[in-house]
Structure 1
Amino acid sequence: MKYIVITGHKSNYPNPIEFHIGDKVTIGEMDTEFEGWIRTTTSNGNVGWAPIQYIDFDVSSAVGTANQDYSARELDTVVGERVILICELNEWCLVRNQDGLVGWVPAQTLATV
């Protein structure tokens, strides 16, 4: 599905977390702004937000196991830019821009074309 950027987005995370199926991660607090995102620390000590759906864990443990590959890379966008939706999850969209770059942007910054 094609979208147009109606509000530009600039990433605040120059070193996004990344994990792969089976990786162990440490989990922290839930995001209070975007429901469904959890503070996650990867095995290399990098900290960032990940979709709770991508991590299997017991609420009594601070350690989880990734059930999907994931990169928290956000895409910088400008108003009027066109992107293609890959998936939407927890009020964020994973998109590909016209240069082939892939990253997450807040769903509220996009409108269908």
Structure 2
Amino acid sequence: MPRARVVAAHRAPDRPPIRVAPGTPVTLGERDREWPDFVWTTLADGRGGWVPATLFDAGRGPATALADYDTRELDADPGETLELERELAQWWWARNARGDEGWVPARVLQLLD
């Protein structure tokens, strides 16, 4: 499994993460200005989060999820070493030494392996 050193701090947003699974109906809104591969995704219960647009069958409005995705982000501090599982839209799903998992932007990581 690849590893990376955190070179800049990352903090998860102050909102609960959301999850989608194949077949989940959602409403897609605006694209993120900083991360244009991501679209604001609202679940039927009104909770929302940023999800890669490629994971849906439409680009805006009513859509259906095509794959599993969890918006959970991982707090990371400079100097910390993370294990990396997979990359999607310039973010890595990572695990820290405590076993916590979540997404971290690639731009705050230096790959070690």
TM-score by length of 2: 0.91
In the TM superposition, 1:69-88 aligns within 5 A as: 69-88=68-87
- 4+ residue runs of structure 1 moved beyond 6 angstroms? none
In the other structure, the counterpart of 1:89 is 88
Distance 1:82 1:53 in 2: 29
Report the identity percentage.
37
**Which runs of 5 or more residues in structure 2 are unaligned?**
none
In the other structure, the counterpart of 1:64 is 63
1:55 aligns to 2:56 (yes or no): yes
Q: What SS does the corresponding residue of 1:34 show, helix, strand or coil?
A: coil
Deviation at 1:35, TM superposition (A): 2.1
Contact 1:4 1:110 in 2 (8 A): yes
Distance 1:97 1:25 in 2: 31
Contact 1:35 1:90 in 2 (8 A): no
1:19–1:13: structure 2 CA closer, same or farther, 3 Å change rule?
A: farther
Distance 2:68 2:89 in 1: 17
In the other structure, the counterpart of 1:20 is 21
Q: What SS does the corresponding residue of 1:56 show, helix, strand or coil?
A: coil
Q: How many residues align?
A: 111
Contact 1:17 1:47 in 2 (8 A): yes
Deviation at 1:111, TM superposition (A): 0.2
In the other structure, the counterpart of 2:9 is 8
**Which runs of 5 or more residues in structure 1 are unaligned?**
none
Deviates more, 1:12-21 or 1:44-53: 12-21
Distance 2:14 2:69 in 1: 15
Q: CA RMSD in A?
A: 1.3
